[in-house]
Structure 1
Amino acid sequence: MKPSNVLLLPGWQDSGPQHWQSLWGERYGYLRVTQHEWMRPLRGDWIARLEEVLLTRDEPAVLVAHSLGCMLAVAWAAHSRNTHRVKAALLVAPGDTERPDLRELLASWSPIPLQALPFPSVMVASRDDPYCEFERARLFAYAWGSQLIDYGPCGHINADSGLASWPEGHVLLQDLMKD
């Protein structure tokens, strides 16, 4: 699989330079799906952008989503007729956009689709993620048909979690790319 067919889906406000997604993009040449509006994300706009990028791929892509990027992946899969263009997805630290504090800020991201994804997926969730309680992450994984990996207490699994380039996560991605 070409590195350009691994699509990085950052969350709200994008992933900063020390985030593992950014480090993977630099190190491995994976393609970041850039959104037109990172600060006030609209679900429909983000879905349209992902669809646009996927339609330019010459082979099925693997999605690497973090936080709101996870919600993008599942919302896109729930609405697209082109789900065959995705081989698999690594979903990391989903942001629960139905929480009262986030629902107000991200109104277009509710409701969260709770149907099985039409491609294999692995979800990595933390026990102390400030944006998604672990039991909600477990519910999402079950509904989406994702293999759930309990990552213990690791915050939002981002740059603040001290993961650097997160080699363990990259091993998970490589396993998904093999299947």
Structure 2
Amino acid sequence: MNRNKTFVLPGYANSGAGHWQTRWETLDASFTRVAMPDWDHPVRAAWCETLDAAVAAEPRGPLRFAAHSLGCLTVAHWALHLAGAAGLAKIAGALLVAPPDPRGPVFPRDALGYDEPALAPLPFRSIVVASSDDPYGSLAFAERCARAWGSRLVEIGPRGHINADSGLGEWDEGQRLLASLLD
């Protein structure tokens, strides 16, 4: 894998041992999880400020994001509403996996501030990865996000929420997609 720094941004309740994000961190020290203030009661403002501080603390880029679920909505909001030019200049791209629909029936109601996702072109390259049977966000929602963000959309078939339960292991395809953000 590429030695450029990658910030891992899990979603609601964090990513456990079997999740592809955790496996990537175990395989490659250039992956760093951004530790959010409260994984079980996310507040968009706090998560975005935490991401902003992590980017600011890095002396230089290129940085990439490997975001899952609520981490995707956090990256988009940060990039479009909070990030300054110096922070954005460090970002090479974002892999945005399984964006959840805040209006969906199983969206966590204690996730505050995520009611309206930031839907405008992102100022860096991005890829949205979606499953055809994600209970947290339909393929149509992922397509809407990808169009709005100016992202390439990759649909991987019926893989649920693209998490540990999806049986992806180290998810080689995801690693290739992330690497392509630097091509």
Count of aligned residue pairs for this structure pair: 177
* Contact 2:132/2:156 (8 A) holds in 1: yes
Q: Which residue in 1 is equivalent to 2:70? A: 68
With the length of structure 1 as denominator, give the TM-score of the two structures.
0.94
From 137, 141, 158, the equivalent of 1:136 is 141
Q: Which residue in 2 is equivalent to 1:155? A: 160
2:127 aligned with 1:122: yes
Q: Which residue in 2 is equivalent to 1:51? A: 52
Q: Which residue in 1 is equivalent to 2:15? A: 15
**In 2, distance between residues paired with 1:100 and 1:20?**
25
Cα shift readout 1:61-116 (whole Å, capped 9, x = no counterpart):
10000000000110101112132221100011111123254263323112111100
* Contact 2:42/2:112 (8 A) holds in 1: no
RMSD across aligned positions (CA):
1.3
**In 2, distance between residues paired with 1:73 and 1:41?**
14
Q: Give structure 1 stretches of 5+ with no counterpart.
A: none
Please state how far the C-alpha of 1:130 moved relative to its aligned partner: 0.6
* Contact 1:103/1:109 (8 A) holds in 2: no
From 165, 172, 175, the equivalent of 2:170 is 165
SS in 2 for 1:163: coil
Amino acid at match of 2:57: T
Cα shift readout 1:116-137 (whole Å, capped 9, x = no counterpart):
0000001110000010011011
**In 2, distance between residues paired with 1:20 and 1:141?**
21
**In 1, distance between residues paired with 2:104 and 2:33?**
27
SS in 2 for 1:109: coil
With the length of structure 2 as denominator, give the TM-score of the two structures.
0.92
Q: Mean alpha-carbon deviation: is it higher for 103-112 or for 123-132?
A: 103-112
